[in-house]
Amino acid sequence: MSTAEIIARCKSLYDDLDFTSAREWKNADPKRKVIGYMPVYVPREIIHAAGMLPLGILGGGDQMEVIHGDAYYQSYICRIPRSTIELGLTKKLDFVDGMLFPSICDVIRNLSGMWQLMFPGTYVRYFDVPQNYQDSIGGEYYTEELRELKSGLEKLGGTTITDEALRASTAIYNENRRLINAVYDFRAKQPSKAPSVEVYLLMRAGMVLPVEEHNQVLTDYLEAAVVEERPVRDNCRIVINGAFCEQPPLNLIRSIEMAGCYIVDDDYMLINRWLLEDVTLQGDPLTNLSDAFLHFSADSAAKYCDRAEDVGQYLLSTVKKTGAEGVIFTAPSFCDPALLERPMLQDRMDEHSVPHISFKYAENSGQMQPIREQAGTFADSIKLWS
Amino acid sequence: MAIPNQTEVIKDSSMLLQKSMIADNYDELTNTQETGKKISSTFVPGNLNELVMCFDMLNNLPEINAINNGMRKKSGAMVMQAEKHGHSEDVCTYVKADIGSMSRGNIAPNGKPMPSPDLLLLSYTGCFTFMKWFELLRHEYGCETAMLHVPYEGDGIITQNMRDYVVKQIKEVVIPALERVSGVKFDIDRLRENLTNSAKAEDDFVWVLESAKNKPSPIDAYFGGVYYIGPIFTAFRGTDKAVDYYQLLRKEIEQRIAEGKGPITPEGDMKDERYRLVVEGPPNWTNFREFWKMFYEDGAVVVASTYTKVGGVYDLGFRHDPTNPIETLADYCLGCYTNRNLSQRVDMLEKYVNEYQADGLLINSIKSCNSFSAGQLLMMQEVEKRTGKPGAFIETDLVDPRYFSAANVKNRLESYFQMIEQKRQGVRSAA
């Protein structure tokens, strides 16, 4: 299968706001349940172990007209909750049995309460994670939270989630993370062979497909991309930061690359790469997930950084590891975590002479010319002066 | 009797007492070079004042400083200063006023420079922004930070796991940090004494809040309420001074009820109570007097508000409990208003509208504060549906004067009051 065929399939999944593939998965067996989740991170292993489909809900993108959703939010609130409400009210999520709202910001947190009030038949959980990373404090708390999630899903599904099932699911997600990292590594090494729009669509496919199927898609893509010849552009190499929740429109990603910037790393859909190492399969599976979260997880503005000297180090290490020449801070408008953290990250980049620019977007941003000009000027300045 | 001129503000004795308490506190904060006292910076929701006092430390609250700067018309320039330094126009203006104030010398209301904190006590309760705010402050001050993560009541309950998590953090993270910075050993009996004082003040505070069930209400529970919450939400909870303040306040209100008086306003006693409102959301601080006047000049009194629960929800029964000193601090933090889920918040508003015999719910939606604001339109719909009373929505900001449009707010309020009148006429016609 060629990359074009694979990406065409991923694109059709991306465009399908009726979530047909997830509906079909559910309709194949009346016992099946679908659990939606929002950014940044939930332990999909537990959902999978319950025999349920984890479904990433990342807003409505730029193809959906938001009518009802706007009636629930003031003008100064970001777009993702509006379009998510729109998805709910237009019955595009009527097959979803449960929704998880991770701890990321006050808007998503409060959306969990709105969902409870608006869709009373749905299993709704605000998924809190610890901001204390000590095993005996945050670890114990988080392990118990995972138990509560497990118990909630067991009740919903009328099933028992065994340790064996959890270990098997963890193994599959370990494989998924390895393949995703392989795609990211491949792009960092040869960005001309893995355009960022393609990598993005591959990752989005993982939000709606069963993980086993996604693993196959990733394997197929890697095999095809390696042998495919593509023109190499005189682009600079940049890292995208701040887009971990509301997603940019595809055109924005394409515009950045067309303006002369190869994206060699990003924080879109961080859930795919949140756990940085394989989760251990021996011992208690929930404790293992908790350990991985505490000690081997990615960084984002949704996390508290315990030590001042560590702020921005994750981004800096990404820049170094991928050989990036600059950072584009691109956050959704009104995104509190990303925009509050940005000045600290910018200072860290300045300390290490890493060039950077910043702009904002919304998931339905339409005008790409200003972004193309800004990114193009940034690319030129890197090529000329860095 | 001297008649006050238009600019002279009428104040009750409790207001004057509070003013002197606050002034003394700022003097203490700005004199630490002489006294050697250490300063802990912390937030109003989840404020652990009883614990901080056990270490002879002073409690400085950046939100309160931002409010002070807002009321003194200084915050606008501070916000813009922070924006010039790269802070987004989209984020919380308390944060930007605080950061902008630092770059202007961090001058306290007494005109003296505020010393840098010795400890940033990040009690992360009910607002995600707090977490990044203190990371930003740490970035500026470079001082020790102790983090207390308080889980959110997503399902509307405090589980044992949540409580245990907070208790452990207080014991193993917060207290050791306070000991380390202050050099004072923790004494649990001292904490118990402070908590005993807190509970006494809380009893009187709740009595004052509930006095608004009278008709006419002797208090305004929003504009007046921000004065009443002053000591208990800030550096005085757990002190003898706070106990005395609330006793004095209670006597004043008892007197008002006995005399059939309405609330005190900056222009004297409110004469004619025409509308009784419940208000959700914080007030605007940059135009506080102007905003308040829009209510009292039309005879609108706020009989209950949620902002006065942001630093602790006492009227639903919680009291600091000296017999379980650490656990009670955990329950306090977990129970603050914005740490409660939307269903709980709607339940509270419904209860207030009914029990305080309000004419409706007014939401002052604050651009800066997603913790309060996200979901408020749905909350309004729910409360309207459950109570049959009309709701209204206005938008302002905390300390950014660019977001206070007096004409818009006034128009909306006047329309709302007309709506209430029409609703009353409809009820009378139906009867």
Chain B CB within 8 Å of residue A341 CB: yes
The answer to whether the CB atoms of B90 and A73 lie below 8 A apart is: no
pLDDT at B10 over 90: no
B5: in domain: no
CA distance B391 to chain A (A): 14
- Count interface pairs A-B at CB distance under 8 A: 161
Residues B302, B264: one domain?
A: yes
- Averaged over A35-55, what is the pLDDT? 98
B43: in domain: yes
Indicate the residue among B156, B186, B216 that finishes a domain. B186
Residues B136, B199: one domain?
A: no
- Averaged over A148-168, what is the pLDDT? 98
pLDDT of amino acid B431: 73
Confidence band for B323, pLDDT divided at 50, 70 and 90:
very high
B243-260, pLDDT tens digit by residue?
A: 999 999 999 999 999 999
Chain A CB within 8 Å of residue B208 CB: no
The answer to whether the CB atoms of A304 and B147 lie below 8 A apart is: yes
Pairing of strands B264-265, B268-269: antiparallel
What is the average pLDDT score of chain A?
A: 97
Mutate to test the interface with A, among B93, B342, B344 (most CBs of A within 10 A): B342
B6: in domain: no
CB A254 within 8 A of CB A48: no
Say which of B87, B145, B152 has its CB closest to residue A128. Answer: B152
Residues B171, B262: one domain?
A: no
Q: What is d(CA B292, CA B4) in angstroms, rounded to the nearest whole number? A: 18
From chain B, pick out residues whose CB is under 8 angstroms from the CB of A144.
Answer: 161
What is the DSSP code (8-state) at residue A185? H
Residues B223, B76: one domain?
A: no
Total number of domains constituting chain B: 2
pLDDT of amino acid B12: 85
pTM (2 decimals)? Answer: 0.96
Q: What is d(CA A303, CA A319) in angstroms, rounded to the nearest whole number? A: 20
CA distance B275 to chain A (A): 26
Q: What is d(CA B320, CA B314) in angstroms, rounded to the nearest whole number? A: 9
A316: number of Cβ within 10 Å? 18
B22-64, pLDDT tens digit by residue?
A: 999 999 999 999 999 999 999 999 999 999 999 999 999 999 9
pLDDT of amino acid B427: 80
Chain B CB within 8 Å of residue A135 CB: no
Indicate the residue among B166, B186, B206 that finishes a domain. B186
* Residues B166, B167, B171: CA angle, nearest 5 degrees: 120
Structural tokens at position A344:
């600290």
A49-70, pLDDT tens digit by residue?
A: 999 999 999 999 999 999 999 9
* Cβ-count burial B231-245 (b if 16+ within 10 Å, e if not): bbbbbbbbbebbbbb
Residues B181, B201: one domain?
A: no
Q: What is d(CA A204, CA A193) in angstroms, rounded to the nearest whole number? A: 19
pLDDT of amino acid B3: 42
The answer to whether the CB atoms of B127 and A106 lie below 8 A apart is: yes
Sorted by where each begins, the domain ranges of chain A are: 20-161
Residues B175, B227: one domain?
A: no
The answer to whether the CB atoms of B341 and A112 lie below 8 A apart is: yes
Q: How many CA atoms lie within 13 A of B302 on its CB side?
A: 31
Indicate the residue among B186, B205, B236 that finishes a domain. B186
CB A323 within 8 A of CB A338: no
CATH number at residue B399: 3.40.50.11900
Residues B209, B121: one domain?
A: no
Residues B113, B175: one domain?
A: yes
pLDDT of amino acid B1: 37
- Predicted ipTM of the assembly: 0.96
Architecture of the CATH domain A20-161: 3-Layer(aba) Sandwich (3.40)
Residues B28, B170: one domain?
A: yes
Mutate to test the interface with B, among A89, A100, A105, A114 (most CBs of B within 10 A): A114
Residues B247, B229: one domain?
A: yes
Confidence band for B2, pLDDT divided at 50, 70 and 90:
very low
Residues B255, B325: one domain?
A: yes
A209-231, pLDDT tens digit by residue?
A: 999 999 999 999 999 999 999 99
B2: in domain: no
B78-115, pLDDT tens digit by residue?
A: 999 999 999 999 999 999 999 999 988 999 989 999 99
pLDDT of amino acid B7: 60
Residues B340, B420: one domain?
A: yes
- Averaged over B149-167, what is the pLDDT? 98
**Sequence-ordered strand ranges (E) for A131-188:** none
Chain A CB within 8 Å of residue B313 CB: no
- H or E, element range at B372: helix B370-373
pLDDT at A296 over 70: yes
Domain region containing B366:
192-430
Residues 6+ apart with CB under 8 A from A273: A177, A180, A181, A184, A298
Mutate to test the interface with A, among B92, B95, B131, B396 (most CBs of A within 10 A): B131
Chain B CB within 8 Å of residue A309 CB: no
